[in-house]
Structure 1
Amino acid sequence: MVDYSKWDHIEVSDDEDDTHPNVDTPSLFRWRHQARVERMTEQQNERESFEEGVSKTKGRLAELKRMMEKTEEEGGENVQERLDKLKLEIGELEKQEKHFKEKEAELKKKERLTPWNVDTLSSAGFEKTIINPTDDEKKSKKSDDDIGKDFWDEHEKEIKHYGMLRDYDSSSEFLRKNPHLVCEAAANYLTIWCITLECQEKHDLMSHVARQTIVMQYILELARQIRKDPRDTFLTFFKRIKVADEQYVEAMDDEHRALIGRVKERAKIRMKAIEDEIEEEERKKRLGPGGLDPVEVFDSLPQSMKDCFEKKDIPMLQKVLKEMDPTEARFHMKRCIDSGMWVPDGKTELAGTQEDKK
């Protein structure tokens, strides 16, 4: 019989090898995994530093005791003085050794209380479930990208329906009728949908779908830890969560808040990328015959020339150019021509101003 008490301290999994390639890179679960790995690395470094200190202290202590024995045997001048110095240093090292013992107990307690996760609990042999393909599947083998996309296209409506459910009972019943949804592909779709909702400023709905995403991740994690198919474990999760203690519920709430934070961060990145793309497209449309942006060229002009273009006053521009250094005047006019602001053949035409070019 499986001891489910161990499950109380399992961190939600975000193993990057199990993250579908179609998930935005870096995906939200990779971010969570990165933070977890950093914590594990910090803990490992602390342990290595501690062990190094213990080793050096023991080595020095053994060396000093040998020196004491040798000094006592050899005798000679100032023997007592040298022995006193050695005893003093040995005393300090023994105090340090006592401190190390206390530190070791502290580290063991910290390691014992560290939540389990896929990095600390599972071996490589159990990180994934491998299903042998049939002969027909071998003949028409698809990439992971194709399989994930096909799953999303086929089950998008069902995944979204699950994401909108409001309680554990309805979620459990819906997954019981649609057990194929209990998989990484569905969890990844929910994550991307959260980012999309945040970009659409549907914050409340995003928060709700994020909660359903965490539930799916916990189900998948439970399945990995007890080495069973997720479709055989989700009912166990829903039974467990109804009677979970406050500490476990708080852990899920923390994961939920963390996911929301990552979603908002990723949404900002996505929106910035979209804005940059739109701005770049608009800039390309503005480019003049010489490949220069009229907005950028206008901003670089001396104020006197800006006034001429804003007023579309050719005589005023001719007067300003005559008063300028010839080299500088040619430089600015060449840029105006390359950006389309000035048309050489148009004797009386000044191209659009900064506002016109936008």
Structure 2
Amino acid sequence: MSRIDYSVWDHIEVSDDEDATHPNVNTASLFRWRHQARVERTEAFRKKGAELEEALAESKHELTRAHEKAGELAAGSSKARDDIERLKREEREWEEKVAAHRREEKKTPWNADTLCRGGFSKIAVINDVKTESVGEETETFMSFEKRYEKDVKRFAAMRSWDDSEEYLSDNPHLLCAETFNLLMMMCVDLEVLKKRESLEQTAHQAVVMRFISRLAKALKVDPRACFRRFFSKMKAADQRQLDTFADELECFKEEVRSAAKSPAWKAMDEAQRELEKEEERLEVFESLPEEMQRCFDRKDVRMLQEVIGRMEPAEARAHMKRCVKAGFWVPGAKVDGGDDDGGSDKEEDDA
């Protein structure tokens, strides 16, 4: 007995007598209209399924958030229990709707568009898959930061849904995890500096990136393929969506405040500041005349005084002022057993 299920062939929207039409009917136009109507029905059905899947994913996320909030509140909070029960009911309702839509999809008759589809509609080139180490991830992020930091800062300043959507459309390379991570770091820096207004704006844009990432994960697509759907929902002023976004924004700002207080961040911030100072020192050193560079390399104060003496006074003052600022020269320091380097001090004093 055959175990192959041939029932899928019982309902196919393909007629053997489609060529037989009334002489007064334009056959090509008729078939074209029928095909267009069928394509529109299929697209509407597919869009409905995607919206149901998205709603189910959002419901699961809200339920998870409710459990987290319940853990933060006092044990046995009646409001927290009521919210969790309500969200569980909503989740079951969405699951039933998704299941019903999938059953309906299986019953949909095949047609000329769905009967024959390529088995390989896309090509995936897979190289040796390697899990990035922490060092490699850091290197990737630093490379992204160096290349696109200005673009991310411009995005952080966007204050409307339309502007943000248009900017991401023009800069699709920002639709990635590195953008969110960079915005997160910017937020922590702003929290440390107590710049509340700038923090509020940057945090808002970071949460935008987080929502787009979650939507892409729920739909199993690239963020570039679904970011417009997120903005459409936000611009439609769906109160439930806006409330969810506002709650997420508050949670994110709390994450930022916690990160800013952590010893790890303080140590990293100090290391970053020291690295920036070293880069500034190197930049100043490389811009000095070669004779002055040799003086600092050899730590020869008398040679430095001679080199400065041969320069124009204004040029000497400018160079020494930059050296003092970079930490190469300390005015009034004692050298050679207590002798004061008066000549060089004079140049700095004149500056």
TM-score (ref. length: structure 1): 0.42
Greater relative contact order: 1 or 2 (C-alpha under 8 angstroms, separation 6 or more)? 1
TM-score (ref. length: structure 2): 0.43
Computing the radius of gyration from Cα coordinates, the structure with the larger value is 1
